[in-house]
Amino acid sequence: MAIITAPSQADVSGLTARLYAHDIDDLGFVAGHTRVLALDPEAYAAGEALFDAIAGSMDTRRYELVTLAAALGVGSGHCRLAHGRKSLDLFGRDQLVRIARDYETAGLSPAEVEMMRFAEKVGRSAATMTDADSERLRDAGFADREIVQIALAAAARNYLSRAIQALAIPVDPSPLDDELQRALLAGIDGRDDQPSGGYRAPLDRAHRHALAWLDSVPTRRVAPARTADEIAVDVDAPLPDEGADATAVVDRLAALAEPGLMAIGSGRFFGWVMGGTLPAALAADWLVSAWDQNGAMRFATPATAAIEQVTGRWIVELLGLPEGSAVGFTTGGTTANFVGLAAGRKAVLDAVGWDLDALGLSGSPRITVLAGDERHASVDLALRYLGLGAPVTVAADDQGRIRPDALKEALDTVDGPVIVCLQAGNLHSGAFDPMAESIAAAHAKGAWVHVDGAFGLWAAASPRFADLVRGIEGADSWATDAHKTLNVPYDCGVAIVARPEAVRGVFGLHTSYIIHDDQAPADPYEKVPEMSRRARELPVWAALASLGRSGTVALVDRLAENARALADGLSRLPGVEVLNDVVFTQVSLSFGSDDRTRRVSERVMADGEVWMSGSHWRGRDILRISVSNWTTGADDVERSVAAVARALEAEA
């Protein structure tokens, strides 16, 4: 019930009576919102005149589609039902049901779909809109006057709907059939009459928010519009005493987060070796959440366990690693390094007769870990987790590759168990340690060899990089990320161990409540440090299934080609120095002095067209480029070079 008391038809006169009469002629009754809003008849009549003026300037079909989308965005059941009735003759009942359920797949023209996306966003979060939203309408064929008309129609609907919501005016009974009403009201005011038990409406809304974000990524500013501190001001609030409608929560979350989102999926994002997301992998990740399987146990979740088994085999075959290697799916490269090094820790202690499981590390023979000067910090972090302390560093060359002669010298000084960490893909240069020679030297001393290949291990998939990875299959364990080069959603690392019993001996567990079959392949939890986890392998399976072997090779090759193109284009700019041999996907730049490099880097990031991250390498401040996104193309390369050129010109 609305708190406002509206007069009956018998008690009104003048303009209010004429407004009531208009509804009776149109609807056969006086609408609830007319009764309430006509308490200020002049203002309400002016609003109605505004609607008539906007509708009169537009094609009727276009106006009704905009109105339906804007009403969906603002969450107005009144307007969805009212304009569903008005649209019935335009579209017919069956197509209107389809439009109400999902206008993206309802057989509308691409221009109409783009128009409805725009209108829905006006209703949902107009404050987050940018020129890119209007640009997409222009690209769809709309003239500037038409874009303004669409914006006015959507905004006017927003105005009326907000007033109706603010005054809690009840929805009037509708003459539409039940199925059409349910379709129009799905996602509105928490209504969800589907058998999915309350999921459909918030998921539909999340789907729309997701598509709106993905549609904006190619043209939006790459950098976030607001900082974490600024977003925190909006988010910071006491935990509410009462819960909220799930759909409203999704809308609120999207509105709060959108200004602070980095466009990591952009083809011009080159920061921190973060990959984009392949369409099949993203869709599979949605299913992972919907299915909500604990992917750790074969008996409890057989589908995900079986898919993990096949996905692991695909990866091993693709990378040319030993057949039968154990493959586990972790949160990322750091945890994958942890898995490989944990297996190595147990193996080298087993080799000297120390029972790690029974006795722990206290009093054990000391394990010496050798790693190159330019190893990634995640190796040190994993060693810290394992109680092994800091590694003994081995000299590297000017590209960050471990020197085999220095490694041999270091191995000669070690007495006792030893682990050697090699690197496939230096963070700054992209260089690869000399695998064959280093692995042979390590194994000659009985060492376990682990390869940190967070982004570079995928080079093993391509014949083009055979020389870089030659001999890598001889190592004992490998770590990589699927959310980098392979472009699956965060988070997903991959840990590979040549001897399955080594990793199973570390993470295996038998208890009375876990059904276990010694004759079956390992449970997923026996290869990673988690007994509860999402089915991360499903997006990896989807990525590889969608790419195939040839597509995966093409992806790896294309990333490297784009890095080379960026290096070539940037090296032609005055004052730019490419510091590394561009052998894979990394490019390190200097613009002269450290101070000038920092200033130019800041200008590049402030420009917003591209994102490249600063770093410090071999005693110099640099701007680092990591090409990791499947969408990066020649146009992105050209625009990125132009963005750096603008920063240099501004600094001149």
Residue 323 lies in a domain: no
168: exposed, middle or buried (C-beta count within 10 Å: 0-12, 13-18, 19+)?
exposed
Which domain CATH number covers 448?
3.40.640.10
pLDDT, the chain, mean? 93
Domain enclosing residue 359, as ranges: 331-513
Please give the Cα distance from 54 to 155 (Å, whole number): 11
Residue 187: which of 297, 301, 71 has the closest Cα? 71
Query: Is residue 616 situated within a structural domain?
Result: no
Confidence class of residue 1 from pLDDT cuts 50, 70 and 90?
A: very low
Length of the chain: 652
List the alpha helices (DSSP H) in 352-478. Answer: 356-359, 377-385, 404-412, 435-444, 466-469
- With 70 as the cut, is the pLDDT of residue 187 above it? no
Q: What is the pLDDT of residue 78?
A: 86
Both 348 and 494 in one domain: the answer is yes
CB contact at 8 A, 631 and 266: yes
The pLDDT of residue 192 is above 80: no
Say whether pLDDT at 195 is over 80: no
Given a cut of 80, whether residue 128 has pLDDT beyond it is: no
Three-state helix/strand/coil letters over 217-250: CCCCCCCCCCCHHHHHHHHCCCCCCCCCCHHHHH
Q: Is 327 helix (H, G, I), strand (E, B) or coil?
A: strand
Q: Is 450 within a domain?
A: yes
From residue 263, how far is each of 603, 642, 650 by CA, in Å? 18, 19, 25
What is the tally of structural domains in the chain? 2
**Tens digits of per-residue pLDDT, 388-398?**
999 999 999 99
pLDDT band with cut points at 50, 70 and 90 for residue 516: low
What pLDDT does 558 receive? 98
Give 515's pLDDT tier (boundaries 50, 70, 90).
low
Is 100 contained in some domain?
yes
The answer to whether position 485 is within a domain reads yes
Q: Is the separation of the CB atoms in 323 and 499 below 8 Å?
A: no
Query: Tens of pLDDT along 10-28?
Result: 888 898 888 888 888 888 8
Cβ burial, residue 10 (10 Å; 0-12/13-18/19+): exposed
Q: For residue range 51-82, what is the model confidence (pLDDT) as tens digits?
A: 899 999 999 999 999 999 999 988 888 899 98
Q: What mean pLDDT comes out for the span 273-283? A: 97
**What's the confidence (pLDDT) of residue 122?**
92
Residue 565 has pLDDT above 70, yes or no: yes
What is the DSSP secondary structure assignment for residue 30, as one 8-state letter?
A: -
- pLDDT, one tens digit per residue, over 137-163 is 999 999 999 999 999 999 998 888 888
**What integer pLDDT is reported at residue 127 of this predicted model?**
80
Is 90 exceeded by the pLDDT of residue 205?
A: no
Asked whether residue 95 is assigned to any structural domain, the reply reads yes
Share of the chain above pLDDT 90, in %: 77
Torsion sign over Cα 559, 563, 564, 565: positive
Q: Which of 194, 213, 238 is the last residue of a domain?
A: 194
Q: Residue 162 carries which side chain, given as an amino acid letter? A: R
- Greater confidence (403 vs 8) lies with 403
Q: What CATH number should be reported for the domain holding residue 133?
A: 1.20.1290.10
Final residue before a domain boundary, out of 459, 481, 513: 513
Task: Decide: 331 and 339 in contact? Cβ < 8 Å.
Answer: no
Residue 268 in domain: no
Could you say which of 136, 164, 194 is where a domain stops?
194
Within a domain: residue 508? yes
Query: Across residues 384-406, what is the average pLDDT?
Result: 98
Q: What is the C-alpha separation between 634 and 632, in angstroms, rounded?
A: 7
* AA letter at 358: A
